[in-house]
Structure 1
């Protein structure tokens, strides 16, 4: 049997690292793209996902060394709480370049090969804030909302070739992205969640694995493993 190769961006920590561990445990060969070393991945490449040339060159190298990428999971990102009046244009552009641009760069690099082979799965991490909005999070929510539009459009475009494109919209997740003093960690907020706790990154990874391996009937879907934050 040939090895199944999965690409994960943002693989050094948080949700991306959990995705790497989950897929590796299911027998996938994992390649992680991140600015920091992705220690849990079989193959780690230091890449700025916002740079299309870096992403393209890295993916070509991975496919030469490991084989065709069957699944691409885009989890790279960053987060900040900033009132809209205080967001400068550099911050707007960075949010869009990393979140939306990072997914676009991966899709442009992996989709042609998937189309030729007639199969493939792409999963992009968006956010429940793209659906429900949030205070002082306009640039983050806007970038993540653009990812939802991208997912649904690519799903329509690539479905005839057997390539599925889906998204995950987690709520506040217990990762280093949320600082210790984040308002999303306050007991007064956590107690409002139907599940009464934050989402675990391993739970988001389980949802990603479902979309990659089992949900062959799904494309253009946005799953929300968010502890009931948005229902």
Structure 2
């Protein structure tokens, strides 16, 4: 009796936002190396060979994100995991933050989580599973000078993650967050106070986190931390203990 050859298992697909640089690029590369098919999404076209598909979209625009998700699923198959790493940082005293800066920060960070989640949730619900990992910040936990709008937006991400985790657990969907401390990415200018030796000396680890270290936490939540939902991992060099 000759049996038909078994079809190889479908490779899992992840959508990573902010994939053009920094933590997002590290997540895309790490997931690809772990066997995932990765669709990288960014306002600037993701570069390099770490993504199976490169998408250009503004995470603050729901329609743009929905179309990017449609393209990703039509070319790579159903998206099993979402990693939201798109974001921006600016150091501004609270007295100087304009209404436009407050709005933009929330649209990018909070909208950058909610928009792709809303686009992917129907499919994940229909398939009975999925995973979301949002990149937030230790400033959402501990606060800091000259960045109240950034901390507020990242804090909103944590609240949304925990609410989504409770709301979608029965559908087989897990939602978690990673809250890095200062990380060695282009978001931190060369003259940033977070790079100053005096600040680094206050950290138990005495150095900035590396993007690949943050990506390792994301991979853990996707591949091994299947018991985790509503959690916030804090790889921050000991900045917040």
Question: The TM-score by the shorter chain falls in which range?
Answer: over 0.9
Alignment of 1:146-185 (within 5 A): 146-185=156-195
Distance 2:194 2:98 in 1: 24
Distance 2:131 2:208 in 1: 27
Give how far 1:42 is off. 1.5
SS at match of 1:113: helix
Give how far 1:41 is off. 1.5
Which residue number corresponds to residue 134 of structure 1?
144
Which residue number corresponds to residue 8 of structure 1?
16
Which residue number corresponds to residue 71 of structure 2?
61
Aligned pair partner of 1:230 in 212, 217, 240:
240
Which residue number corresponds to residue 122 of structure 1?
132
Is the counterpart of residue 26 in structure 1 residue 11 in structure 2?
no
Which residue number corresponds to residue 227 of structure 2?
217
Superposition TM-score, scaled by structure 2 size: 0.95
Give how far 1:26 is off. 0.6
Regions of 4+ moved over 6 Å: none
Give how far 1:216 is off. 0.6
Distance 1:214 1:158 in 2: 19
Give how far 1:200 is off. 0.4
Which residue number corresponds to residue 45 of structure 1?
55
Which residue number corresponds to residue 5 of structure 2?
none
SS at match of 1:73: strand
Is the counterpart of residue 194 in structure 1 residue 204 in structure 2?
yes
Gaps of 5+ in 2: 1-8
Is the counterpart of residue 112 in structure 1 residue 122 in structure 2?
yes
Aligned residues: 231
Superposition TM-score, scaled by structure 1 size: 0.99
Please give the per-residue CA displacement for 1:77-98, whole angstroms capped at 9, x wherever unaligned: 0000000000000000000000
Give how far 1:59 is off. 0.1
Give how far 1:116 is off. 1.0
Please give the per-residue CA displacement for 1:165-216, whole angstroms capped at 9, x wherever unaligned: 0001000000000000000000000011001100000000000000011111
Distance 2:223 2:21 in 1: 22
Gaps of 5+ in 1: none
SS at match of 1:69: coil
- Determine which structure has more spread, i.e. the larger CA radius of gyration: 2
Distance 2:183 2:116 in 1: 24
Distance 2:52 2:71 in 1: 14
Give how far 1:111 is off. 1.4
Give how far 1:3 is off. 1.6
Give how far 1:13 is off. 0.2
Distance 1:111 1:132 in 2: 31
